[in-house]
Amino acid sequence: MKKLIGYVAVLAMLTSCASQKMMSIYQTSGVEIAQNSSGVDILNKYNTSRPITVFHSSLSLCIAQELDNSPVVLTSENYFGSPWWSYYNIPNQQSITVSGGDTIKLVEGNHVVAEAVTDYLHRTKYFVNYTLTTTRHQNNIDYLFSNIKQAQQYTGSVVNDGFENVKTLESAHPNLVIEALNKEVDKIQECLLRQ
């Protein structure tokens, strides 16, 4: 009976941790939260602005060079391993290829719209798919990320459903998604300043 109570307590702790909201994401500057059709809070948009006064390259050229919209392969292969030894996958025949296509979708005046995918690591690789709308002003560039979705590369024995909205739960690590988006902005900014 004591073992059963111990297991239930551990399970309750793990369940509460997995479903807890990441409160810091609600205070992150530029983050807009919305609710999906199930009433769950998700990252709706992320807006940031970076100062720039001298352009050595065009904005659309830097976006085309620095952002990537290549297709990604998602799978539900079983993943084994750790940071200390190599890993291997046991295939179970379920994989999907998603995303891909042209990066630049529209160039109009001071605006560039692009679609791209990036990634980050948190025990395994996650892909982040987004639409980026940039607006060039005299002294700064506004970066607006929308349609932000993520997918885990390997889901183990669980079916990989592909890209989904980023929930504000700690288990969805929305902070790492925002960090990955900021790295995309950094690449564009560095390209603009490069001679």
90 within some domain: yes
Query: What is the structure's pLDDT at 17?
Result: 47
Output the domain CATH number for residue 34: 3.30.530
11 within some domain: no
Burial pattern 93-127, b for ≥16 Cβ within 10 A else e, equals eeeeebbeeebbeebeeeebbbbbbbebeeeeebb
Higher-confidence residue: 47 or 79? 47
183 within some domain: yes
| Mean pLDDT of all residues in 166-174 | 96
13 within some domain: no
Give the predicted TM-score (pTM) of the model: 0.81
Tell which residue, 18, 26, 58, 43, has the closest CA to residue 170. 18
The total of structural domains in the chain comes to 1
pLDDT at 85 over 90: no
63 within some domain: yes
Render pLDDT for 101-156 as a digit per residue (tens, 0 to 9): 899 999 999 999 999 999 999 988 999 999 999 999 989 999 999 999 999 988 77
Higher-confidence residue: 160 or 58? 58
67 within some domain: yes
Instruction: Determine the structural domain holding residue 147 and report its residue range.
Output: 22-193
10 within some domain: no
Categorize the per-residue pLDDT at 61 as very low, low, confident or very high, splitting at 50, 70 and 90.
very high
CA–CA separation, 87 and 61 (whole Å)? 38
Query: What is the structure's pLDDT at 19?
Result: 67
12 within some domain: no
- CB 90, CB 77: distance < 8 Å: yes
